[in-house]
């Protein structure tokens, strides 16, 4: 446990209210559990009791909203990003302590010293016949703090999502928190909210005397946003401990209609950073601008040759491995509430790429240009030919596409277009002997995965989610975003279903990431239904 995070005011209030001893200490240490769970007295809960259970969880949550938010605030302050290994390790230690306080056996699994820990916890339930792994990642995307309205690692509550939203001093609020409020900070939604929802659901069940209906395993990964470079090694090395009947993936947002959501697959991913070389150093573009090749122009041309404005990928062979979207997936998409018009307004866009709807578009592969950088713009712009241009791309892959194939196709395309493809900055002789040079840096990438939506376990998960929501949840055949679930499927041989809880408009992977409180409240119910009622 690295520090006491609950605010002094809140602790004072709770202490004044008569909270004492071990419960107070646990709360101050970042666990809000008010009573030690009494597993011997608790019982699994059948479907018939589910609505009562959800009611109990709801009531518990209403009584503990500030402590739940404090937990999320506290986790967000730990800078668990790739650029800050110490912050990442502190977060792993905190998570380990939180699980241990709830009776879990916990280990930090690492592929090698100095790499990010995967926090693994397990807790058996005597009469349970199924084992479920709850996955989330505790690392966040990189940040560009200057683009944030406030420090990415000092959470701020605001009364809404936009620039007009104002800060809220939620710790001074008496009564329930406004469910439309949002907490802003890196990783607050992606995925620390899922971790907090899991913990709150666990505690709510315990407080109500319910024990989990399944054996519970927890996998909290620490480098998902860096492409999960060590997940495979960790999974392979710990296959037996990780044995289970189901993985539930607490990553990604719910459908844009704000309906609670499940997803049954995710696109794969491979990242590419390409550097196009111009002259050895920037040159006066008045004296050389029609003669020395301009790498910004070369990069622009290359982007245009790879992808058109409708999102179609123009690289020959790129779609050779892409198959038709299955009819069941198309049917599930057709049942989703339409969101396109409201999203255009929300995003301030006058058109969309392609002619299909949003979710259908995510069933195709994508070439996303996430960054372009050459020379200078604005006040720093100088009349110079830049020395290079950098294109940062992430490809999203659909089932049956292999990262290695994508890499091969891109490199063949570049060679056919006359590019000399290198993997490091070229030396002078290389420069002089090739008209166009590009260096490529690929990550390992991973393929997509699609899970059968009609299996017994899928039906059980859908039923539990429906019970938690009190309505039919949205079923997505495949997330547009990528999580490395292909690896889990390949190594752990268990069905994998996505259990997202956060709002779609959470600015994840962007400045001002945020979590809408109502999503956290609904997420706690969903997690409670999975923990307390899941059976098949």
Strand bridging mode 215-221 / 474-476: unpaired
8 Å CB contact between 188 and 69: no
Among 479, 485, 528, 534, binds a copy of itself (CB under 8 A): 479
Give the pairing type, strands 265-266 and 449-450: antiparallel
Range 294-299, long-range pairs (CB < 8 A, 24+ positions): 294/385, 294/386, 295/374, 295/385, 295/386, 295/387, 295/388, 295/389, 296/374, 296/375, 296/386, 296/389, 298/389, 298/436, 299/274, 299/372, 299/374, 299/389, 299/390, 299/391
For position 30 contacting a copy of itself by CB under 8 A, the verdict is no
Q: How far is the CB of 438 from a copy of itself (least distance, A)?
A: 12
The whole-angstrom distance between residue 382's C-alpha and the CA centroid of its chain comes to 39
Q: Print the binding letters for residues 267-296 with a copy of itself: x by CB under 8 A, - otherwise.
A: x-x-x-x---xxxxxxxxxxxxxxxxxx-x
Stretch that binds a copy of itself, among 45-53, 67-75, 317-325, 387-395 (CB under 8 A): 387-395
CB of 379 to a copy of itself, least distance (A): 6
Q: Does 443 bind a copy of itself (CB under 8 A)?
A: no
For the CA atoms of 217, 52, 517, 24, the dihedral, rounded to the nearest 10 degrees, stands at: -70
Q: Which residue of 437, 449, 462, 488 would you call a contact of a copy of itself, by CB under 8 A? A: 437
Q: Check residue 370 for interaction with a copy of itself (CB under 8 A).
A: yes
Binding to a copy of itself in span 293-312, by CB under 8 A:
293-294, 296-304, 307-309, 311
- Closest separation between CB of residue 287 and a copy of itself, Å? 4
Q: CB 289 → a copy of itself: shortest distance, Å?
A: 4
Of these, 185, 260, 386, 445, which contacts a copy of itself (CB under 8 A)?
386
Contact pick of 257, 361, 405, 455 for a copy of itself (by CB under 8 A)? 361
Whole-number minimum distance, CB 389 to a copy of itself, in Å?
A: 7
Q: Based on the shown chain and the rule CB under 8 A, indicate whether residue 372 belongs to the binding site for a copy of itself.
A: yes
Q: Please identify, using beta-carbon distances, which residue of 349 and 456 lies nearer to a copy of itself.
A: 349
Residue (280 or 456) nearer to a copy of itself, CB: 280
Residue from the set 93, 480, 491, 535 that interacts with a copy of itself by CB under 8 A: 480
5 binds a copy of itself (CB under 8 A): no
Among 504, 515, 532, 533, binds a copy of itself (CB under 8 A): 504
Sheet (strand 437-442) strand order:
388-397, 268-277, 437-442, 420-422
The yes or no reply on residue 338 touching a copy of itself (CB under 8 A) is: no
Q: Which of 345, 423, 424, 454 binds a copy of itself (CB under 8 A)?
A: 345
Cα separation, 346 vs 306, in Å, equals: 29
Binding to a copy of itself, residues 144-173 (CB under 8 A): 144
* Among the listed residues 352, 405, 455, 535, the single contact to a copy of itself using CB under 8 A: 352
Binding positions for a copy of itself, 58-87, rule CB under 8 A: 83
3-state DSSP call for residue 258? coil
Query: What are the residues whose beta carbons fall under 8 Å from the beta carbon of 523, sequence distance 6 or more?
Result: 193, 194, 197, 501, 502
Residue 267 beta carbon to a copy of itself: minimum distance, rounded to whole angstroms: 6
Stretch that binds a copy of itself, among 14-22, 265-273, 328-336, 402-410 (CB under 8 A): 265-273
Question: What is the closest distance, in whole angstroms, from the C-beta atom of residue 457 to a copy of itself in the complex?
Answer: 25
As a whole number of Å, the end-to-end CA separation of the chain is 37
Residue 342 interacting with a copy of itself (CB under 8 A): no
Enumerate the β-bridge partners of residue 249.
135, 498
State which of residues 58, 353, 400, 411 lies at the interface with a copy of itself (CB under 8 A).
353
Q: 41, 164, 327, 432: which one contacts a copy of itself (CB under 8 A)?
A: 432
Nearer to a copy of itself, 60 or 318 (CB): 318
Q: Which residues in the 183-242 window bind a copy of itself by CB under 8 A?
A: none
Question: Distance between CA atoms of 254 and 498, rounded to whole angstroms?
Answer: 10
* Cis amide linkage into residue 353, ω under 30° from 0: no
Closest CB to a copy of itself among 240 and 324? 324
Measured in whole angstroms, the distance separating CA 399 from the mean position of its chain's CA atoms is 20
Asked if 401 is part of the footprint of a copy of itself (rule: CB under 8 A), the reply reads no
| Residue 72 half-sphere exposure toward CB, CA atoms < 13 A | 33
For the CB of residue 225, give the shortest distance to a copy of itself in the complex, in Å: 8
- Smallest gap from Cβ 295 to a copy of itself, in A, equals 9
Count of positions on this chain that bind a copy of itself (CB under 8 A): 102
Q: Establish if 484 lies at the interface with a copy of itself (CB under 8 A).
A: no
* In contact, 274 and 390? CB cutoff 8 Å: yes
Site for a copy of itself in 507-536 (CB under 8 A): 507-512
Secondary structure of residue 357 in the 3-state scheme: coil
Query: Which residues within the stretch 234-253 sit at the binding site for a copy of itself (CB under 8 A)?
Result: 252-253
**Contact, 172 vs 62, CB < 8 A?**
no
Whether 238 contacts 120, CB under 8 Å: yes
387, with CB counted inside 10 A (0-12, 13-18, 19+), is middle
Neighbours of 482 (CB within 10 A): 26
């Amino acid at each position: 446990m690295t520090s006491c995070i609950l605010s002094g005011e809140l602790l004072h209030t709770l202490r004044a209210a008569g909270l004492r001893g071990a419960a107070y200490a646990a709360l101050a240490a970042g666990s809000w559990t008010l009573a030690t769970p009494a597993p011997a007295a608790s019982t699994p809960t059948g479907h018939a009791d589910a609505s009562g259970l959800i009611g109990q969880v709801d009531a518990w949550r209403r009584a503990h909203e500030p402590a739940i938010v404090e937990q999320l605030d506290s986790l967000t302050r730990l800078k668990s990003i790739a650029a800050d290994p110490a912050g990442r390790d502190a977060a792993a230690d905190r998570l380990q302590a939180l699980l241990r306080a709830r009776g879990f056996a916990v280990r930090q699994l690492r592929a090698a010293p100095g790499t990010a820990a995967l926090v693994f916890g397990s807790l058996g339930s005597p009469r349970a016949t199924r084992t479920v792994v709850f996955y989330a990642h505790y690392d966040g995307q990189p940040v560009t703090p200057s683009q944030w309205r406030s420090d990415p690692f000092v959470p701020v509550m605001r009364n809404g999502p936009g620039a007009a939203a104002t800060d809220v001093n939620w710790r001074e609020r008496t009564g329930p928190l406004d469910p439309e409020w949002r907490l802003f900070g890196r990783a607050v939604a992606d995925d620390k909210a899922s971790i907090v929802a899991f913990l709150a659901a666990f505690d709510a069940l315990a407080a109500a005397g319910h024990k989990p209906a399944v054996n519970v395993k927890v996998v909290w990964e620490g480098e998902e946003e860096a492409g999960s470079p060590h997940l495979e090694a960790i999974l392979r090395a710990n296959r037996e401990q990780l044995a289970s009947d189901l993985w539930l993936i607490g990553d990604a947002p719910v459908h844009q209609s704000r309906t609670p959501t499940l997803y049954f697959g995710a696109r794969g991913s491979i990242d590419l950073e390409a550097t196009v070389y111009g002259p050895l150093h920037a040159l006066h573009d008045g004296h050389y601008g029609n003669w020395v090749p301009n790498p910004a122009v070369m990069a622009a041309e290359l982007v245009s040759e790879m992808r058109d404005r409708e999102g179609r990928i123009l690289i020959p062979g790129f779609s050779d491995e892409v198959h038709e979207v299955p009819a069941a997936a198309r049917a599930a998409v057709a049942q989703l509430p339409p969101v396109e018009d409201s999203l255009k307004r929300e995003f301030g866009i006058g058109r969309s790429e392609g002619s299909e709807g949003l979710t259908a578009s995510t069933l195709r592969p994508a070439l996303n240009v996430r960054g372009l950088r050459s020379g200078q713009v604005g006040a720093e712009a100088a009349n110079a030919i830049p020395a290079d241009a950098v294109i940062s791309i992430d490809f999203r892959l659909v089932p049956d596409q292999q990262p290695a194939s994508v890499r091969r196709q891109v490199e063949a395309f570049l060679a056919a277009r006359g590019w000399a493809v290198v993997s490091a900055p070229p030396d002078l002789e290389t420069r002089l002997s090739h008209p166009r040079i590009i260096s490529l840096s690929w990550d390992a990438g991973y393929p997509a995965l699609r899970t059968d939506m009609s299996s017994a376990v899928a039906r059980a998960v859908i039923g539990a989610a429906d019970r938690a929501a009190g309505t039919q949840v949205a079923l997505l055949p495949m997330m547009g975003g990528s999580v490395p679930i292909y690896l889990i499927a390949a190594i752990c041989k268990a069905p994998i279903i996505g259990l997202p809880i956060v709002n779609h408009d959470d600015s994840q992977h962007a400045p001002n990431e945020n979590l809408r409180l109502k999503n956290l409240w609904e997420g706690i119910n969903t997690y409670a239904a999975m923990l307390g009622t899941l059976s098949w």
